[in-house]
Amino acid sequence: MCLVRHFASFAAALLLLALAPTSFAEKRSAGAKGTAVEILHVAPAPKQLPAPGEMMKLLVTLKNTKDSERRLRAFIVRDGQMLDISVPTAQFNQEEMPYYEVPLYAPEGEMLYLFMLYNPDGSVTSSNRYFVRRLCLPNTTLASGKVDPSLPPDQRLIQLASQVADLNRDIKSYEMVLSLLKDLQKLIGDN
């Protein structure tokens, strides 16, 4: 199973790398001063990633333009699955630079991604490619809720404290799934 997942991740990564050939990266759209529009982004550090499946946002800022109507697409390979997220318009930050928020669910293990900005002249500006991998895979097994009665009381207390943390993680996961189901129900309707 792990080999299949890594193979799928590798194949999707190859597809992602093929999406931004150098000819795309060389096409630039001039900003107000005739300089090239740049896509600025700082990839999250592995320790900054939320728990798998939790909502997160990738922030992308445009430099050398005030145009907030350009369409941005994020091509993401998250845990071997290809995602194509389109963000139609930008907002302005405190420096009055257009920025985009790309919403997605945090990966279990890794993600590879890049951004493409569609310019008014028909050209496409491509960002660098970004890769984030967790330092270790998080524990996603459900908490057992069982305490070993043969342990001394202090060890049972430690085991219970550990299970409380695991149960809190499970509750957070269930709440997230419930929220997703409610969102799906709104999209489908109350049939």
Looking at per-residue pLDDT, the higher value among 140 and 89 belongs to: 89
Asked whether residue 116 falls in the same domain as residue 191, the answer is no
Answer yes or no: do 12 and 105 share one domain.
yes
**Within this chain, do residues 103 and 146 fall inside the same structural domain, yes or no?**
no
- Considering its fold, how many domains does the chain have in total? 2
- Report residue 179 as tokens: 């929220």
Residues 6+ apart with CB under 8 A from 34: none
130-133 and 110-118 beta bridge pairing: antiparallel
Mean pLDDT, the chain, whole residue set: 80
Q: Are 167 and 106 contained in the same domain?
A: no
Domain span including residue 122: 2-133
Yes or no: say if 114 and 70 are a contact pair by the CB < 8 Å rule: no
109 shares its domain with 16: yes
Residues 39 and 106 in one domain: yes
- Give the tokens for residue 110: 């890794």
Q: Which of 19-23, 133-137, 146-150, 166-170 is predicted with the least confidence, judged by mean pLDDT?
A: 19-23
Residue-wise pLDDT tens digits, 150-178: 888 888 888 888 888 878 877 877 787 78
- Tokens 């984030």 correspond to 132
Domain boundary among 83, 112, 133: 133
Residues 119 and 168 grouped into a single domain = no
Residue 32 shares a structural domain with residue 105? yes
**Residue 135 CB contacts under 8 Å (≥ 6 apart), including other chains:** 46, 47
DSSP at 46: G
pTM value is: 0.66
Model confidence pLDDT, tens digit, residues 94-113:
999 999 999 998 998 899 99
CB atoms within 10 A of CB 51: 14
pLDDT over 70 (residue 15): no
Same domain, 100 and 181: no
CATH code at 94? Answer: 2.60.40.10
| Pair 61, 16 in one domain | yes
Q: Is the same domain home to 101 and 50?
A: yes
Q: Torsion angle of alpha carbons 92, 95, 96, 101, nearest 10°?
A: -20
